[in-house]
Structure formats: structure tokens, C-alpha cells
């Protein structure tokens, strides 16, 4: 006997239950998420209770030179370096330089040492009110220059290799332009050169800043204020998203250690010496001095045309602080005929600490230097 067709207008039982099934599944999904969150939070209490102090700077180092608060360190690897010319790393002033040696599996320094390089680093220390009137001449000629001269004397060399990072790259470019005879090879990483590109939000903010009023009012620039400015460049990602995402790793001790180590680095920032900050904003950011001219250090003009040594420029493709468009003009401004670029698929911080960076960046630096070692 043939089954009768449903009575017109009547809803079959499965069709009546379908919305209820969907609602039940929806409730089950949310209950599962709520239970998972509860478990993560419970595990987090245990994880955070077990974590002690978060350590950074894993590679052994020794102080070899000092000028006031500024210290020059030499890193010590498991074996003696094979490179004949040392590398001096010049980091930015706005953060602590241990980003290049953050932890055992995320260390530019450790990887360079493993390749046979002889690595030194300038540690700027923490500024206080006594440093209010330090100028760019102090930082570039006295501190960078003092470290360079110490290494030249210690290694009995006319010139050394200089690696500048971010603002430290701008310092290194300026020093190399003023003293090209003392720099054998120059490497710049995520370094701003053209400060007036349209996609550089940080630069656009600073162009309208009354820097004289700012520094005259504050003296030294507080680190907390600087950090707030950087965080507001990506407010959703840096104020909300990363802390919501942290819940997913609360039960993973290693991941939490990594997260807290990064947080410590981000907020462990020195204040900025007022006068040097004023000069840097005026001459580099507002005046775009590398492109337009107008940078003076100790009464001497900085002209990138005098940068005639080999230059390797490494930039990050997703860098929101120093976009590629701000770094890449370097090749057309320097006097060197030996200019190379390396692009890294990552951001301003990922270029030091990501897994890809550990594989790509130290090797690129070492290989480039090795080809120019003769």
C-alpha cells in the first residue's frame, strides 16, 4: 500500500524537531565552551602559581667597556668565534636590547654566535633626570663612537661591522655617514629612512607634535607614555585580542612563560632623554633629514652619500612601525655601490623572535658578511 502524502499544511515530526535540535546543539556548544573556559581558568591559577620570575637574556656575556650608564657587552658562545671582524649591535632607545637574546630558542645573538660571529651589544641602560640634556651627539658620537673605537683598538682593526636596529639603525646610518672609515660593513634592520611615507602612522602622528612644548613640559619622556602611543597603533590587537587569546594557553606553562617574557620586554622601557628626543623628532621625523638633509650631529651634517661601505638592509613586510616603504629608499640615498636588501615575512618584533626568523635572519647576515670577509 502506498504511503500517503503528508496532509497539506501539516508539519512532519522531524521538521518540528529540527529547530529544537539546532537549539540543543547551540546550547551544547556554548556549554562546552563555558566548561573549557572554566577548566582553562582553573588550570591558569595552577600555572601562574608555579611560575617564578621570567628570565631573559640567555647568552653569557661580559662587560668590556662602559661610559656612565652605557655598557658594551661581548657575548660568549660555546666556542671561539671564527669571524675576524666583530659585529656591534646598536639597538633602539625605546626598549631594552635583550629582544635580540630573548630566550634560548629565540635569540638572534645565539644564532650568530653559532655561525662563528663575534657579537657585541650596546646597552643604553635606564635614563634618569641626570640624563635630561643628553643630545644626539652624546648617543651617536660619544656612546656609539666610543664603543666602535674600543672594538677597533681591542681587535686592532681600522673598521668593524655595525648592525643597527630600528632607531639604532638610524643612529648607525648617521655614524657611518660621519665616520665611513670606521665601518667595514653596515647592516640595518627594520630601520626608518624615509619618515614621510603615507603608510607610516607613527610618523604622521609626530609631524604635528609641538615637540618643544612637549619636552619643555615633561623633561625626559616617560616610558609609559611612549608605550601607550605604540599600543594605540593597533588598539584592538594589543589592548584586547592578545589578552583574550591568552586564555587558550593558561594551561600551557611553556607558552605562558613565553607570553609573560614578551609582556615584560614590552613594558620594561626606559624613559627618553628629553633633549635627544627633541632633536630626533625634529631632524628625523619632522624634517625627514635622511631624505631632505638637515640632520646635524655635533655641528656636522649627516649625508648618506658618504655611506660608501657595503650595506645590507633587512626589512619586515608586515611592519606597522617601520613599513617597508620607509626602509627601502635607503638604496637610492647612500653612496655605496654594494647594496643588498632582504625582506622578511613578518612584523617588527617577529623579525627577532619568530620561528621563521631563527632560520632565516642570522644565516642571511652571516652569509652576506662571509662574502665580504676577504
pLDDT, position 60: 95
Q: How confident is the model at residue 290 (pLDDT cuts 50, 70, 90)?
A: very high
Output the pLDDT for position 7.
47
| pLDDT band (50, 70, 90) for residue 57 | confident
- Global confidence as pTM: 0.87
Least confident of 17-26, 82-91, 224-233: 17-26
pLDDT at 367: 97
Catalytic residue among 88, 92, 134, 166: 166
Whether 120 is in a domain gets the answer: yes
Strand partners, 65: 72
- Count CB-CB contacts under 10 A for residue 88: 22
Q: Is the pLDDT of residue 8 over 70?
A: no
Res. 209: pLDDT tops 60? yes
Residue 36 domain flag: no
190 located within any domain: yes
**pLDDT for the residue 263:** 87
Residue 166 among the catalytic residues: yes
Q: Between residues 60 and 202, which one has the greater pLDDT?
A: 60
Please state the rounded mean pLDDT for residues 262-281: 93
The percent of residues in the chain predicted with pLDDT above 90, rounded, is 65
- Residue 4 falls inside a structural domain: no
Q: Which helix H or strand E contains 155, and what residues bound it?
A: helix 145-155
Contacts of 63 (CB under 8 A, 6+ apart): 71, 72, 73
**Structure confidence at residue 169 as a pLDDT band (50, 70, 90):** very high
Tell me what percent of the residues of the chain surpass a pLDDT of 70: 88
Query: Which of the two residues, 238 and 168, has the higher pLDDT score?
Result: 168
pLDDT beyond 70 at 9 = no
Give the CATH number, domain containing residue 76.
Answer: 3.40.50.1820
pLDDT at 43 over 60: yes
Reply yes or no on whether the pLDDT at 281 is more than 70.
Answer: yes
Whether 30 maps to a domain, the answer reads: no
Number of domains the chain is built from: 1
Place of cell 671582524: 85
Instruction: Indicate whether 52 belongs to any domain.
Output: no
Distance CA 59, CA 354 (A): 18
In-domain check, residue 29: no
Q: What is the pLDDT of residue 1?
A: 44
- The whole-number average pLDDT for the span 109-125 is 97
Q: What's the first-to-final CA gap in the chain, in angstroms?
A: 96
Looking at residues 175-194, what average pLDDT do you find?
A: 98
> For the residues 10-20, what does the mean pLDDT come to?
56
What is the mean predicted confidence (pLDDT) over 42-67?
Answer: 82
* 41 lies in some domain: no
Question: Which DSSP state fits 221?
Answer: B
pLDDT at 21: 65
Average pLDDT over every residue of 208-217: 95
Q: Which comes out higher in pLDDT, residue 29 or 356? A: 356
40-54, 152-166, 207-221: segment of lowest average pLDDT: 40-54
Average pLDDT, the chain: 89
Q: In which band, very low, low, confident or very high, does the pLDDT at 178 lie, cut at 50, 70 and 90?
A: very high
Residues in contact with 35: Cβ distance below 8 Å, sequence separation at least 6, in sequence order: none
Q: Indicate if the pLDDT at residue 163 is higher than 70.
A: yes
The string of DSSP codes covering 240-273 is: IIHHHHHGGGTT-HHHHHHHHHHHHHHH--PPBP
The whole-angstrom separation of Cα 299 and Cα 311 is 25
Q: Which residue segment(s) compose the domain that 196 sits in? A: 61-370
Confidence at residue 24, expressed as pLDDT on a 0 to 100 scale: 62
Q: What per-residue confidence (pLDDT) applies to 12?
A: 57
| pLDDT score at 284 | 97
Amino acid at each position: 500500500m502506498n504511503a500517503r502524502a503528508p496532509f497539506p499544511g501539516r508539519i512532519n515530526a522531524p521538521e518540528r524537531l529540527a529547530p529544537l535540535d539546532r537549539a540543543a546543539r547551540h546550547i551544547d556548544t556554548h556549554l562546552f565552551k563555558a566548561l573549557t573556559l572554566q577548566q582553562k581558568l582553573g588550570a591558569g591559577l595552577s600555572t601562574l602559581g608555579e611560575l617564578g620570575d621570567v628570565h631573559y637574556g640567555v647568552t653569557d656575556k661580559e662587560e668590556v667597556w662602559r661610559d656612565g650608564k652605557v655598557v658594551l657587552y661581548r657575548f660568549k658562545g660555546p666556542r671561539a668565534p671564527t669571524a675576524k671582524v666583530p659585529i656591534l649591535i646598536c639597538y633602539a632607545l625605546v626598549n631594552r636590547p635583550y629582544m635580540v637574546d630573548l630566550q634560548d630558542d629565540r635569540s638572534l645573538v645565539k644564532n650568530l654566535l653559532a655561525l662563528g660571529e663575534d657579537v657585541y651589544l650596546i646597552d643604553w641602560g635606564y635614563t634618569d633626570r641626570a640624563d635630561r640634556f643628553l643630545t644626539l651627539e652624546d648617543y651617536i658620537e660619544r656612546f656609539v663612537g666610543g664603543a666602535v673605537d674600543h672594538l677597533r683598538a681591542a681587535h686592532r682593526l681600522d673598521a668593524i661591522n655595525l648592525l643597527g636596529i630600528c632607531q639604532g639603525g638610524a643612529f648607525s646610518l648617521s655614524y657611518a655617514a660621519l665616520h665611513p672609515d670606521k665601518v667595514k660593513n653596515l647592516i640595518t634592520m627594520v630601520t626608518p629612512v624615509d619618515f614621510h611615507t603615507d603608510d607610516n602612522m607613527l610618523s604622521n602622528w609626530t609631524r604635528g607634535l609641538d615637540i618643544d612644548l612637549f619636552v619643555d613640559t615633561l623633561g625626559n619622556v616617560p616610558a609609559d607614555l611612549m608605550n601607550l602611543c605604540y599600543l594605540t597603533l593597533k588598539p584592538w590587537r594589543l589592548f584586547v585580542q592578545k589578552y583574550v587569546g591568552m586564555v587558550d594557553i593558561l594551561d600551557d606553562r611553556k607558552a605562558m612563560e613565553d607570553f609573560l617574557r614578551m609582556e615584560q620586554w614590552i613594558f620594561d622601557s626606559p624613559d627618553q632623554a628629553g633633549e635627544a628626543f627633541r632633536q630626533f623628532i625634529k631632524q628625523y621625523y619632522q624634517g625627514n633629514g635622511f631624505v631632505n638633509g638637515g640632520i646635524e650631529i655635533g655641528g656636522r651634517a649627516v649625508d648618506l652619500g658618504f655611506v660608501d661601505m657595503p650595506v645590507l638592509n633587512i626589512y619586515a613586510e608586515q611592519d606597522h612601525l617601520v613599513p617597508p616603504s620607509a626602509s627601502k629608499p635607503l638604496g637610492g640615498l647612500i653612496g655605496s655601490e654594494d647594496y643588498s636588501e632582504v625582506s622578511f615575512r613578518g612584523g617588527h618584533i617577529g623579525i627577532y623572535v619568530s620561528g621563521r626568523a631563527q632560520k632565516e635572519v642570522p644565516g642571511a647576515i652571516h652569509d652576506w658578511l662571509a662574502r665580504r670577509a676577504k
